[in-house]
Amino acid sequence: MSLAHLPPAPLIALRNAHLFAPEDRGVAHLLLGGGRVLWIGARWNDLPADFGVETLDLEGRRLIPGLIDGHVHVTGGGGEAGFRTRVPALPLSRYTGAGITTVIGLLGTDDVARSPRELLATIHALREKGLSAFGYSGGYHLPPATLTGSLRGDLVFLEPLIGVGELAISDHRSSQPTLDELLRVASDAHVAGLMTGKAGVVHLHLGDGERGLELVRQALDQSELPARVFQPTHVNRRRALFGEALALARRGVPMDVTAFPVEEGEDAWSAADAFLRWREAGAPMDRLTVSSDAGGCLPCFDADGRVCGMDVGAPGALLETLAELLARGVPLPEALPVFTSNVARALRLAGKGRVAVGGDADLLCLDEAGGVHHLIARGRVHWRGARPVLAGTFETAGAPA
């Protein structure tokens, strides 16, 4: 990752943290350096002053892994109702101020005016600002938008790209892929993953269509591809679709729910409701993740397919969902994996999603209300004492997120 615009990651001592790694480790002290966690222990001995260690006393506050947002429109989304509805890209502090230290960028409905070049450039820009950023090749439609001319080439030769997505199915905005087309895309992703050690997944946008996850069921029944290659998202947008997701998760398919707003009486589950229903159903908890759809347009359509309203996904939806789960009695160690370790495992992000010696120094210290007190990404302090200290190129460091 390019760090051309940032100084080397310093030595940082985190004292008196109540560490959730995500399991509860009790009160601990940590030493960070070079962007990594160097040491975790129960007793602290002061280091020589010549070491130049910056010390942050967390005073017993909760310290958790930085959140991983697996579905982010880093270039901005939208465009379904004309060019005026294109959502602008979010600035750095919107992510870090929401506790996010890793984002997975993608193209959505607009994979024409929004290009793979723009996506890759934005991923590199976020990396230069200190965030961990990766992305998907392609977009909603087939043939896919690529940089090298093929999905397999993109994944093999472009390091930040770890899979394909968000390929749309069961949606009037999709290119209506057939089973054979889906299998070819999934095969390209899987083989590229084998060649590179990347995730090699197909991140599938699920629309409101009645076909739901039928294509994924057929893919499992009629191919040799591993179930983990198919990673559907938005599966909480219809209650019946969520029921299909529960069944496929038991066959090994990871499922992603979106932390979008849900109105009372709407035929959908909120991300928190989905988590609780997943747990109540006894579905595999390690196959569930939560993402925000940050920067993406959240449109509604009338019977003729015209946009009748829209909202924009917000990075803060992840922390809001975590706070709701805690308020509804879910212990923090049980709630955290869907935002951290489960995402890292599904996307094969080495060093991410856990607080461990040798792992990446991506850490979030929560304040008493569950907001961001300190945020450390790749070993650098981005937020200190609930205030931003690192900002994007075109935003002011002291501005609120």
Known binding residues:
71, 73, 205, 234, 293
Phi, psi of 299, deg, nearest 5: -85, 160
Rounded CA-CA distance 72/167 in Å is 14
Rounded CA-CA distance 290/273 in Å is 12
DSSP string, 318-369: HHHHHHHHHHTT--HHHHGGGGTHHHHHHTT-TT-SS--TTSB--EEEE-TT
Is residue 385 within 8 Å of residue 104, measured between CB atoms?
Answer: no
Is residue 116 within 8 Å of residue 83, measured between CB atoms?
Answer: no
- Give 310's strand partners: 299
DSSP code for 87: P
Q: What angle do CA 179, 344, 318 make, to 5 degrees?
A: 95
Total Cβ atoms within 10 A of residue 326:
16
Query: Three-class SS string for 368-401?
Result: CCCCEEEEEECCEEEEECCEECCCCCCCCCCCCC
Rounded CA-CA distance 190/188 in Å is 6
Binding residues for Zn(2+) are 71, 73, 205, 234, 293
Enzyme catalytic residues: 293
